[in-house]
A and B are shown apart, each in its own frame.
Chain A
Amino acid sequence: MKFAVKKGWSNGRARSGVLQLGSCPFPIQTPALLLTTRKGLPPFTSPDLLTSSLPSPDSHLLQFSPLHFLEGISPKTISNIGGLHQMLSLHQHIFAAVPRDSIIALPEHDSTNKYGASFQTPGGRLLIKPAEYVELVSSMKPDFWVTLADEVPAWVSNKRNRTSVDRTLRWLDDCLSLNKESTTIFGSIVGGSSIEERHRCAQEVAQRNVSGYWIGGFGLGESMDERAALLTAVTDNLPEDMPRHVSGLGLPEEVLQGVAAGIDLFDSTYVYHLTLGGFALTFPLERNKGENADYQLSDSGGDGMKINLKATVYRKDTSPIVESCICFTCQNHTKAYLNHLFNVHEMLAQTLLEIHNTHHYLGFFCSIRKAIEEGKFEQFRRNFVESRRDRLFAAASSA
């Protein structure tokens, strides 16, 4: 794996970088989005659509949890096939193994103990030990993987928090020593909502022989306000030229907060949850001065960021979700058709919507990168947050 921060392209802590990983022949520009998957594939997009209808190489980063594979096809079989890339026939994609995903493998901190991390899954509660975890991961052969962590939410006691850091470090060392095939590992950093613990954990992990850092314990109940300081407590203690990956920062504003703290990779379930609910992203990717938030408000349950395609106001709307969008869905289909598909509970509704939402969100990341390279990231972030407030205000007052 190769990662480099583009020198001279930084705005404060925000940085622009390039990532090159084994399977993918194209370099990935960061900050970048990892797509949420269920067993390696996006929930509603088939492999052929993944490659034919989403931008390349932006859409090549796929995040999965090894815990997805405790049911169904056995890890041994996947190993026999040659790993996930072979099984899914996605040879040019990058698979990142992260123990937790925010949909079906949620950390269960009460049940985690000194032996392993506990997760709440649809199949029940699971306890995973480092050795089991490493074995699972090695049968998948991902491009990089994150070490097992003890993630705790913001409200636990200091003692519990300290224990989580100690455990996470110990498991990191376990994972490193069990890593026979010298694969690419990201060291996990936790620390809850304690600046000191975050600081301590980051410094410890920075001393280990890893290829990058995964920052966990976010998106578990902390407020956005307290998060900023916690993020920088971590990133300030990490070497500049190594990639930083965070889970659980899903909303656009949270992503911007992460970028501002120096994060390079984000995995997020934002697109998944929007798609499930029938919401389509519509916020402008190009920031024009004096742009008014005059589209698609109040009637539709929208808020300037997204629209609710199930709303009756779209029954006869023959325009695409976003006029200027070049995704397959917007190029081929109307809001009226999508409205109908959602109303009659057809599978195609989510497939088409996931394509658009993913496309749109990848476009957002592209805008972020552009802003950083132009030295205007802080302004971009400010504008985004302010215009969101304006739209919400307008929506509220016209309702």
Chain B
Amino acid sequence: MAWFSACSIPAVPLFLQVLGRFNRARAAQLTLPHYLCQTPLFMPVGTQGTIKGLTKNQLEEIGCQIILGNTYHLALRPTSELIDELGGLHKFMNWPRALLTDSGGFQMVSLLHLADITEKGVTFQSPVDGKPMLLTPEESIQIQNRIGADIIMALDDVVRTTITGPRIEEAMYRTLRWIDRCIAAHKRPNEQNLFGIVQGGLDPVLRDICVRGLVERNLPGYAIGGLAGGEDKDSFWRVVAQCTAALPEDKPRYVMGVGYPLDIVVCSALGADMYDCVYPTRTARFGTALVPEGVLKLKHQAMANDIRPIDPMCECMLSRDLHSSIVEGRFPEFVCKFLQTMFPKGDVPEWVCNAMEVAGIDISSCCHEMKV
């Protein structure tokens, strides 16, 4: 596979080449300025410019391709100006592969007391001195331009899917207005890829309007946002299915905040390519290991004298397995094996069965009810 030098910047900073398919699922090669990635891929969250406790060599060894940095945290410490002055986040961390930064908006709304969203942007209280501050789409893009990640995210008006009412519609239209402001403010379109984020809650009509609005802007990639916030799984997969069906084939689809291995398999079957979640790193800090059968709570007394190895299925490896199974034409078999390992009694959740039906994957061998 052609290696992509970190020094040369391509004429197009993003190129997606589909290598294999199974119905809606696709395995692709995603070329970014700093790395040649294979999708589906999982991006671990390296909040403050590091994945907790892992060196860059260890990360490369486990197959990590893109790391997500949190704009909010980095702008606070060590500040985007300092990162810029020292040559960008890649150089600062000495991470030779790809980076993605989020817009900072989500952290503000979820972390900060008295954060509020207006047409201008996100107003909040500075965590440093309590002064009122404003994060506008323009400011978010400028910060991300300074940080220098391969992929940057538009500032969106994100609303939890558990909320109903006119707020969702307002947020969706605002997201579309803000994408234009983000595009105008973006100073490095030849080096950094600005992804738009599809909002619209659980309403298919709103989601459709948002998708079409973003696709009109011809962005390098698209994220499906506003999910992974507590909505029921049946609604979750339907939104993903609708969006992936409507988004262009030749651009990557990123489902933000997903997640559990099962969610990743389902979304990949429905045609998504990229994922991020704090789940693996966070759950590790609490002593929980991810294994094919589910989770192992290592701090449990029962584990105290268990001398068997963990047998890890790290999410990076999961996505690598997804990619190769699609490319090698054995995706349905992979999905079945995955589900059988996770649900040995055949109790695959209904939402997964419904989603797989839409994805055109026969999982009857895994489901107890279907075995007659």
Instruction: Give A residues with C-beta under 8 Å from B.
Output: 48-49, 52-53, 72-74, 76-77, 80-81, 87, 315-316, 318, 328, 332-334, 336-337, 339-341, 343-344, 346-348, 351-352
Question: How near does chain B come to A285, taking the closest CB pair, in angstroms?
Answer: 24
The answer for the CA separation of A81 and B54 in the assembled complex, in Å, is: 27
B305 touches which one: A74, A339, A347 (CB < 8 A)?
A74
The answer for the CA separation of A78 and B50 in the assembled complex, in Å, is: 34
Residues of chain B within 8 A (CB-CB) of A48 are: 58
When the two chains form their complex, are residues A346 and B50 in contact, meaning their CB atoms are under 8 A apart? yes
Apart from A52-B57, A74-B304, A344-B73, 11 more pairs, CB < 8 Å: A74-B305, A76-B305, A81-B307, A87-B307, A334-B92, A334-B94, A341-B50, A343-B77, A346-B50, A347-B53, A348-B53
Given A346-B48, A348-B54, A340-B304 contact (CB < 8 Å): no
Partner-contacting stretch, out of B78-86, B253-261, B323-331: B78-86
Residues of chain A within 8 A (CB-CB) of B164 are: none
When the two chains form their complex, are residues B94 and A340 in contact, meaning their CB atoms are under 8 A apart? no
When the two chains form their complex, are residues A80 and B52 in contact, meaning their CB atoms are under 8 A apart? no
When the two chains form their complex, are residues A77 and B307 in contact, meaning their CB atoms are under 8 A apart? yes
B307 touches which one: A53, A80, A316, A340 (CB < 8 A)?
A80
Label chain B's interface by main secondary structure: loop
Q: Which residue in chain A gives the minimum CB-CB distance to B56? A: A332
Residues of chain A within 8 A (CB-CB) of B48 are: 340-341, 344, 346
When the two chains form their complex, are residues A337 and B94 in contact, meaning their CB atoms are under 8 A apart? yes
In the complex, per-residue mask of B31-72: 1 if CB is within 8 Å of any chain A CB, else 0: 000000000000000001111111111100000000000000
Given A49-B58, A316-B86, A337-B92, A346-B52 contact (CB < 8 Å): yes
Residues of chain A within 8 A (CB-CB) of B304 are: 72-74, 77
Question: How near does chain B come to A64, taking the closest CB pair, in angstroms?
Answer: 19
Residues of chain A within 8 A (CB-CB) of B85 are: 316
> Is B184 on the interface with A (CB-CB < 8 A)?
no
Name 27 A/B residue pairs within 8 A (Cβ), A-sorted. Answer: A49-B55, A49-B58, A52-B57, A76-B305, A77-B305, A316-B82, A328-B55, A328-B57, A332-B55, A332-B94, A334-B86, A336-B82, A336-B92, A337-B92, A337-B94, A339-B78, A340-B78, A340-B92, A341-B49, A344-B48, A344-B73, A346-B52, A347-B52, A348-B51, A348-B53, A348-B54, A352-B55
A333 touches which one: B53, B73, B82, B94 (CB < 8 A)?
B94
A318 touches which one: B57, B86, B307 (CB < 8 A)?
B86
> Is B111 on the interface with A (CB-CB < 8 A)?
no
Residues of chain A within 8 A (CB-CB) of B58 are: 48-49
The answer for the CA separation of A351 and B58 in the assembled complex, in Å, is: 12
Q: Which residue in chain B gives the minimum CB-CB distance to A343? A: B77
Q: Which residue in chain A gives the minimum CB-CB distance to B54? A: A348
Question: How near does chain A come to B75, taking the closest CB pair, in angstroms?
Answer: 12
The answer for the CA separation of A347 and B58 in the assembled complex, in Å, is: 14
The answer for the CA separation of A265 and B56 in the assembled complex, in Å, is: 34
In the complex, per-residue mask of B87-110: 1 if CB is within 8 Å of any chain A CB, else 0: 000001110000000000000000
Residues of chain A within 8 A (CB-CB) of B55 are: 49, 53, 328, 332, 348, 351-352
- A-contacting residues, B268-325, CB 8 Å: 304-305, 307
Looking at B50, B73, B77, B304, the one whose CB has the most chain A CB atoms below 10 A away is B50
Question: How near does chain B come to A143, taking the closest CB pair, in angstroms?
Answer: 22
When the two chains form their complex, are residues B82 and A348 in contact, meaning their CB atoms are under 8 A apart? no
Looking at A333, A339, A346, the one whose CB has the most chain B CB atoms below 10 A away is A346
Residues of chain B within 8 A (CB-CB) of A49 are: 55, 58
Q: Which residue in chain A gives the minimum CB-CB distance to B50? A: A348
Given A73-B305, A315-B82, A348-B77 contact (CB < 8 Å): no
The answer for the CA separation of A48 and B60 in the assembled complex, in Å, is: 14
Residues of chain A within 8 A (CB-CB) of B53 are: 346-348, 351
When the two chains form their complex, are residues A344 and B52 in contact, meaning their CB atoms are under 8 A apart? no
When the two chains form their complex, are residues A343 and B307 in contact, meaning their CB atoms are under 8 A apart? no
Question: How near does chain A come to B331, taking the closest CB pair, in angstroms?
Answer: 32
The answer for the CA separation of A87 and B306 in the assembled complex, in Å, is: 11
The answer for the CA separation of A316 and B57 in the assembled complex, in Å, is: 23
Residues of chain B within 8 A (CB-CB) of A315 are: 78, 82
Q: Which residue in chain B gives the minimum CB-CB distance to A350? A: B53
Residues of chain B within 8 A (CB-CB) of A347 are: 52-53
Residues of chain A within 8 A (CB-CB) of B73 are: 344
Question: How near does chain A come to B298, taking the closest CB pair, in angstroms?
Answer: 11
The 8 closest A-B pairs by CB, nearest first: A347-B53, A77-B305, A348-B50, A340-B78, A344-B48, A346-B50, A81-B307, A347-B52
Question: How near does chain A come to B69, taking the closest CB pair, in angstroms?
Answer: 12
Q: Which residue in chain B gives the minimum CB-CB distance to A349? A: B50
The answer for the CA separation of A318 and B85 in the assembled complex, in Å, is: 11
B86 touches which one: A72, A77, A336 (CB < 8 A)?
A336
Question: How near does chain B come to A339, taking the closest CB pair, in angstroms?
Answer: 8
The answer for the CA separation of A351 and B54 in the assembled complex, in Å, is: 8
Residues of chain B within 8 A (CB-CB) of A339 are: 78
Question: How near does chain A come to B320, taking the closest CB pair, in angstroms?
Answer: 19
Looking at B52, B82, B94, B307, the one whose CB has the most chain A CB atoms below 10 A away is B307
Residues of chain A within 8 A (CB-CB) of B305 are: 73-74, 76-77
Question: How near does chain B come to A367, taking the closest CB pair, in angstroms?
Answer: 27
Given A315-B82, A348-B50, A340-B57 contact (CB < 8 Å): no
Residues of chain B within 8 A (CB-CB) of A74 are: 304-305
When the two chains form their complex, are residues A348 and B94 in contact, meaning their CB atoms are under 8 A apart? no
Residues of chain A within 8 A (CB-CB) of B94 are: 332-334, 337
Question: How near does chain B come to A376, taking the closest CB pair, in angstroms?
Answer: 38
The answer for the CA separation of A117 and B26 in the assembled complex, in Å, is: 66
Question: How near does chain B come to A320, taking the closest CB pair, in angstroms?
Answer: 11
Question: How near does chain A come to B131, taking the closest CB pair, in angstroms?
Answer: 21
Residues of chain B within 8 A (CB-CB) of A341 are: 48-50
Residues of chain B within 8 A (CB-CB) of A80 are: 307
Residues of chain B within 8 A (CB-CB) of A328 are: 55, 57
